[in-house]
Structure 1
Amino acid sequence: MGGNAFNKHSPALPTPRMPPEIYTKILSQTLDTLRKHYQHVGSPIEAPGKPDFGDIDIMVASPLSRDFDTLTAPPKTVAENLSKTLGAAASILESGNPTINLAVPWPAEEVEEQKYVQIDIHVCKDSKDLTWNLFHAAHGDLWNILGTTIRPFGLTVNDKGMYLRIPEIELLDRKKSMIFLTDSPSQILAFLGLDESKWWSEFGSRRQMFEFAAGCRMFWVKEKEVEGEEEEGGVGDVVGEVEGGVGGQEGGEKGKKKLKHNDRQRMAKRPIFREWIEEFIPLLREEGWCGECKVTREQVMEEAFAKWGVETEYEERLRAWRLARHEDELWREIKGSIPEDVDPPFRGAAIRQLKVVIMEGEEWEGTVPDAAKKSEQGFHDLEVVKKFVLDNWKKAGEVGWERQQKRAMEGMKAKAEKKRKVGEEPKVSVS
């Protein structure tokens, strides 16, 4: 939470940013203590060159006793035990959140007035979950940087794993567009062309970290546009997508204009990400890193199919999406082909009757009309549907209206019969 969890605590507890020596001291002490209660304990590798720290993030898994196990003890009890063990002045636990915030006193010899260090302990499901969280949180903003590189190739890495996005779906429903590939750090780094041995060590400088990110096989730098080339109409991303592939990293002022909204927010809040965009990419252009992209989004998709066997899921998800969109369009076609100035109750009856014939397969005049027939993929011919509706909406309205009246009469009779039976029931007298 960036060291701000206890701002709203009652009373508020000051948790100022820590210099490196305080961060290192408290981190080491906390890890040593937690290893007495958990089999797996770790802290994400920090980004290089940080002048100070807002909080301390720690991951734990496989508790060694019931007192620290959220599966056998109430989470509140576990939070209290952690708070007591680490000497915290206060703790925060939100329902459903696996992270426990603790306010631990600042080292007494380092402070004149009382202040605290915020420690965020993330309770992981198991060692695999812990490894993934350490991987995903490593090096601060590095995944923000890599995210802008791999996004145009249809890849997304979030707190669960790496996903392949379906282009046809993602603009309208990003979540439904995502096909899970893997949560293996080794597989992800290999697929991106990054050296795993370097990942698990802290980089000596930001330049080293940036050069590591630039080693991704999907990274390339776009050449400067020649004078007079169109500069407006950006593609909405720092690495713009183009027909058949992707544009290169651009950076600088022009690249900033093409950032997505979330990336622009990161620029304002994350100094390392801002340095990557404003300084490092332009520097690479000056140093002659410009070139051509060696892989396309389609190639990445085919490689993902071959590596993780998700082609069938991809095709089924896309087909289901297309069918759902088609049914929406079909329904709009049925309703939109009936004049709007028709008496509303009669128009409603016509729409409902046409729906049961075209979309639900009820026979029309003793046969199934062509408008109700589907292709092998499950699609209707919308032109045939439109013609059928235009030719038959009046008759459908008459049939639907008659059915509606019949149902209404049957409902009234059923209600009257129920009322009659209730009236005939013998009354029980109480003496």
Structure 2
Amino acid sequence: MGGHAFALRNKPLFTPRMPLQIYAQILKSTLNALQQHFRHVASPIEGPGKATFGDVDILVAEPLNPDLDTTQRPTTEVAEALARVLGAVDRIWQKGNPTINLALPWPSSEVSENENPDVTEPAKKYIQVDVHMCPSTTNFTWTLFHAAHGDLWNILGTTIRPYGLTVNDHGLHLRIPEIELTNRNKSKIFLTGEPARVLSFLGLDESRWWTSFGSVNELFEYAAGCRMFRVKLEGEEEDGIGAGDVVGEVEGQEGGEKGKKKLKHNDRQRMSKRPMFRLWIDEAIPRFRAEGRYSGETVSREQVREEAFRAFGIRTEYETRLKDHQLSQHLDETWRIAIKSTVPVVDVDPQFRAASVRTLKAVILGGETFDGEVVPAAKTDENGFLDTERVREFVRDHWRKAGEIGMQQQEEKARKGMEAKAAKRTRASDDDVDEKMTESLA
């Protein structure tokens, strides 16, 4: 929430940004208090160069106190218990959100920084502490890893995304490009949620990850050390050394004004909101280009995919999901183009045409018989694919017959529906007679 959770309430609390000394003081006391009640307690490593902080983020897992166990008590009760443990004056929890926002009093020992007598500060200041309840030790470790170093994952994300890799709240994933075009979520195959394996696959030093960076430039140098990062040098394409010749389908990064134009919408939004990410695009990459650094050969998307197959054993899952997607696309196109679009529209009664299309779909895709037999056009190969030209030929030759069958089926369905309604009315009438007879005898 960035320290704004309590400012948005009907009765807002003033939670200004904290200077480093106040942040460090509250972080230490909060960690000490929570360590008495949870087996795992930590705060993600902050990004370098921060002078002020909007809130204090804490991760916890494996409660030692039953009052703080969300598996045994409603989260509202856990939020109240957390407030008591930390001495919070208010708390916020929304259903389904694993994070509980707590408002702690600003340390009373702090001397006000406002020395202007003409400006009146609010009477009370508070500090927002966000406690994230992790459901497992595995989730705790991954979240601590994923949240480290501020915008570092935003920076790495722009590097690995062209290679089909994505990191989210659960782990590292490989995307299937053919599925990605229509459904990004379904295109992702989980690789690992182990930080060490992720960093190893990206070519990044694990021991360096778990320590703070002394400066933003240190962080940028670390990010540029990813084995998939490459700077596209000036004049590359003009000299005939296109990005495709060096890294397959993946271009190097340009940064600056030209690089911004190639960013995705979400990344352009990040530039306006995340100063470190903006510096990476505006200054770091252009500097690397000017210095001629990080411009050597790297891997292609195909190489990364093959390495992921070997490292994480997901070849079968990848190929199966791709095959299922291709078959689904094929059947959809067969329905839309080979069947539906082949049945004439001009000078054909719409109701008759709808009956024809419905029958043909049931015969070709649903396995129903046509004149008592399964037609050759409905037979598939060993992978489940139809011969679309044979389907079109069948539709052209039999759409009228299919329409007649469909109309007959529709009429039969309507007749049975009317008979069912009539039978229902008869039963209702008989029930009324029985009820009246019972009342008269009583």
TM bucket, shorter chain: over 0.9
Task: State yes or no: 1:52 paired with 2:59.
Answer: no
Q: Tell me, what secondary structure is at the counterpart of 2:303?
A: helix
* Cα shift at 1:227: 9.9
* Cα shift at 1:340: 2.0
8 Å contact 2:157–2:166 — kept in the other structure? yes
Structure 2 residue identity aligned to 1:204? G
* Cα shift at 1:368: 2.6
Structure 2, gaps ≥5 residues long = 113-122
Task: State yes or no: 1:14 paired with 2:20.
Answer: no
1:111 to 1:324, Cα distance in 2 relative to 1, 3 A: farther
1:172 to 1:26, Cα distance in 2 relative to 1, 3 A: same
Q: Once the two structures are superposed, what CA deviation does each residue of 1:183-213 show, in whole Å capped at 9, x if it has no partner?
A: 0000000000000000000011111111011
* Cα shift at 1:420: 2.9
Structure 1, gaps ≥5 residues long = 231-238
What is the CA–CA distance in structure 2 between the aligned matches of 1:294 and 1:227, rounded to whole Å? 17
Say which is worse superposed, 192-201 or 342-351, in terms of deviation: 342-351
Structure 2 residue identity aligned to 1:315? E
What is the CA–CA distance in structure 2 between the aligned matches of 1:317 and 1:421, rounded to whole Å? 52
Task: State yes or no: 1:137 paired with 2:137.
Answer: no
What is the CA–CA distance in structure 1 between the aligned matches of 2:430 and 2:104, rounded to whole Å? 76
8 Å contact 1:144–1:273 — kept in the other structure? yes
Q: Tell me, what secondary structure is at the counterpart of 1:108?
A: coil
What is the CA–CA distance in structure 1 between the aligned matches of 2:320 and 2:3, rounded to whole Å? 44
8 Å contact 2:224–2:294 — kept in the other structure? no
What is the CA–CA distance in structure 1 between the aligned matches of 2:423 and 2:237, rounded to whole Å? 86
1:100 to 1:241, Cα distance in 2 relative to 1, 3 A: farther
Task: State yes or no: 1:340 paired with 2:350.
Answer: no
Aligned to 2:289: 285
Aligned to 2:252: 248
1:128 to 1:226, Cα distance in 2 relative to 1, 3 A: closer
Aligned to 1:110: 110
8 Å contact 1:248–1:293 — kept in the other structure? no
Q: Tell me, what secondary structure is at the counterpart of 2:263?
A: coil
Aligned mate of 1:190, from 182, 194, 200:
200
Q: Tell me, what secondary structure is at the counterpart of 1:11?
A: coil
* Cα shift at 1:363: 2.5
Q: Tell me, what secondary structure is at the counterpart of 1:3?
A: coil
Aligned to 2:402: 396
Matches within 5 A, 1:181-330: 181-225=191-235, 244-330=248-334
Say which is worse superposed, 338-347 or 171-180, in terms of deviation: 338-347
Structure 1: 4+ residue segments shifted above 6 A: 226-230, 239-243
Structure 2 residue identity aligned to 1:327? L
What is the CA–CA distance in structure 1 between the aligned matches of 2:125 and 2:288, rounded to whole Å? 43
8 Å contact 1:223–1:290 — kept in the other structure? no
* Cα shift at 1:18: 1.0
What is the CA–CA distance in structure 2 between the aligned matches of 1:244 and 1:338, rounded to whole Å? 44
What is the CA–CA distance in structure 2 between the aligned matches of 1:241 and 1:351, rounded to whole Å? 49
8 Å contact 1:222–1:248 — kept in the other structure? yes
8 Å contact 1:49–1:206 — kept in the other structure? yes
* Cα shift at 1:30: 0.5
Instruction: Kindly report the root-mean-square deviation, in angstroms, between the aligned alpha carbons of the 2 structures.
Output: 2.0
Q: Once the two structures are superposed, what CA deviation does each residue of 1:36-83 show, in whole Å capped at 9, x if it has no partner?
A: 111110000001111211111000111111111111122111111111
8 Å contact 1:244–1:297 — kept in the other structure? yes
Aligned mate of 1:362, from 368, 372, 387:
368
Aligned to 2:434: 427
What is the CA–CA distance in structure 2 between the aligned matches of 1:105 and 1:10, rounded to whole Å? 19
Q: Once the two structures are superposed, what CA deviation does each residue of 1:279-322 show, in whole Å capped at 9, x if it has no partner?
A: 01111111111523321111111111111111111111111111
8 Å contact 1:61–1:124 — kept in the other structure? yes
Aligned to 2:177: 167
Q: Once the two structures are superposed, what CA deviation does each residue of 1:67-124 show, in whole Å capped at 9, x if it has no partner?
A: 1111112211111111122111110000111100011111112255311111100011
Structure 2 residue identity aligned to 1:326? H
Q: Tell me, what secondary structure is at the counterpart of 1:122?
A: strand
Task: State yes or no: 1:414 paired with 2:424.
Answer: no
The aligned length equals: 423
1:366 to 1:311, Cα distance in 2 relative to 1, 3 A: same
Q: Once the two structures are superposed, what CA deviation does each residue of 1:341-370 show, in whole Å capped at 9, x if it has no partner?
A: 311111111111111111112222343323
What is the CA–CA distance in structure 2 between the aligned matches of 1:271 and 1:191, rounded to whole Å? 28
Q: Tell me, what secondary structure is at the counterpart of 1:67?
A: helix
8 Å contact 1:104–1:119 — kept in the other structure? yes
8 Å contact 1:221–1:284 — kept in the other structure? yes
Q: Tell me, what secondary structure is at the counterpart of 1:15?
A: coil
What is the CA–CA distance in structure 2 between the aligned matches of 1:105 and 1:55, rounded to whole Å? 13
* Cα shift at 1:242: 9.7
* Cα shift at 1:128: 1.8
What is the CA–CA distance in structure 1 between the aligned matches of 2:154 and 2:294, rounded to whole Å? 22
Structure 2 residue identity aligned to 1:254? K
Task: State yes or no: 1:158 paired with 2:168.
Answer: yes
Q: Tell me, what secondary structure is at the counterpart of 2:52?
A: coil
Percent identity at matched positions? 57
Aligned to 2:75: 75
* Cα shift at 1:226: 6.5
Q: Tell me, what secondary structure is at the counterpart of 1:246?
A: coil
Say which is worse superposed, 370-379 or 254-263, in terms of deviation: 370-379
Give the TM-score taking structure 2 as reference length.
0.92
What is the CA–CA distance in structure 1 between the aligned matches of 2:256 and 2:367, rounded to whole Å? 59
Q: Tell me, what secondary structure is at the counterpart of 1:245?
A: coil
8 Å contact 1:57–1:119 — kept in the other structure? yes
* Cα shift at 1:413: 2.4
* Cα shift at 1:229: 8.8
What is the CA–CA distance in structure 2 between the aligned matches of 1:418 and 1:227, rounded to whole Å? 78
What is the CA–CA distance in structure 2 between the aligned matches of 1:368 and 1:227, rounded to whole Å? 57
Aligned to 2:390: 384
Aligned to 1:29: 29
Give the TM-score taking structure 1 as reference length.
0.94
What is the CA–CA distance in structure 1 between the aligned matches of 2:44 and 2:289, rounded to whole Å? 32
Q: Once the two structures are superposed, what CA deviation does each residue of 1:360-407 show, in whole Å capped at 9, x if it has no partner?
A: 122223433232111211111222212211111111111111122122
Structure 2 residue identity aligned to 1:399? I
